[in-house]
Amino acid sequence: MNQFSERRTCGNGWSSLICPTIENKLKERIDAGKTWKPPIKSNEDLFEDFIDPMFSVLFYHQSYSHNIPPVDVDIGDLNAEHEEVVIPPEVRNQPG
């Protein structure tokens, strides 16, 4: 639950359209002078037909927008009052 909250807080600080990790990888590949050409930009920060919407900041925000209510568990409930022995299933040898 803490990790979920930390990622939501981290994602709220992003101002670009794609996740920083993907944006950095894209910049590295462009700077390295690869032989492939990225598609023509439709605006300054968006590469259409190249970046999957899953890597957008909007998708990230939607993923972490839900609240997870805390689970109210009494520690005493976790301790078994009497221990039950779990017996594994009987294994039969296959013929042959």
With contact defined as beta carbons under 8 Å apart, do 51 and 18 qualify?
yes
Residue 28 backbone dihedrals phi, psi, to 5 degrees: -60, -45
Question: What are the residues facing 18 on neighbouring strands?
Answer: 56
Secondary structure element (H or E) that encloses residue 3, with its range: helix 2-12
d(CA 71, CA 60): 24
Q: For 82-96, what is each residue's pLDDT tens digit? A: 667 788 888 888 887
Q: For 27-73, what is each residue's pLDDT tens digit? A: 888 787 766 565 665 565 555 556 778 888 888 888 888 887 777 77
Burial of 18 (0-12, 13-18, 19+ CB in 10 A): buried
Q: What is the pLDDT of residue 70?
A: 76
Tell the residue number behind the tokens 């894209």, with chain if given: 26
